[in-house]
């Protein structure tokens, strides 16, 4: 699995969480106050969520 890149805004650690209600994975920054949600819907796998984040984290 691809490794998730740091947050593009604060350089902090990022992670992928699973939103049960939406049945979807979301990548976001772990730092409080820097919650960055990308408006991506229907991410069905953790790998895909990491990929989407990494594209934008450059
Ligand atoms: Zn951040």
What confidence category does residue 58 fall into, taking pLDDT thresholds of 50, 70 and 90? low
pTM over 0.95: no
Distance 34 CA to ligand 1 centre (A): 5
Tally of domains within the chain? 1
For 10-51, how does the pLDDT look when each residue is reduced to its tens digit (9 = 90+)? Answer: 999 999 999 899 889 988 899 988 866 666 667 899 999 999
**For residue 27, is it within any domain?**
yes
Distance 49 CA to ligand 1 centre (A): 16
**For residue 46, is it within any domain?**
yes
**For residue 2, is it within any domain?**
no
**Res. 8: pLDDT tops 90:** no
**Res. 3: pLDDT tops 90:** yes
pLDDT of residue 38: 63
Distance 33 CA to ligand 1 centre (A): 8
Domain containing residue 45 = 14-56
Residue in 55, 45, 47, 44 with CA at minimum distance from that of residue 3: 47
**For residue 36, is it within any domain?**
yes
Give residues whose Cβ lies within 5 Å of ion ligand 1.
7, 9-10, 12, 29, 31, 34
Yes or no: say if 15 and 4 are a contact pair by the CB < 8 Å rule: yes
**For residue 3, is it within any domain?**
no
């Amino acid at each position: 699995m691809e490794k998730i890149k740091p947050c593009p805004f604060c350089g902090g650690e990022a992670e992928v969480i699973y939103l049960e209600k939406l049945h979807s994975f979301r990548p976001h920054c772990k730092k409080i106050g820097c919650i960055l949600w990308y408006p991506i819907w229907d991410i069905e796998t953790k790998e895909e969520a990491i990929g989407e984040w990494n594209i934008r984290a450059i």
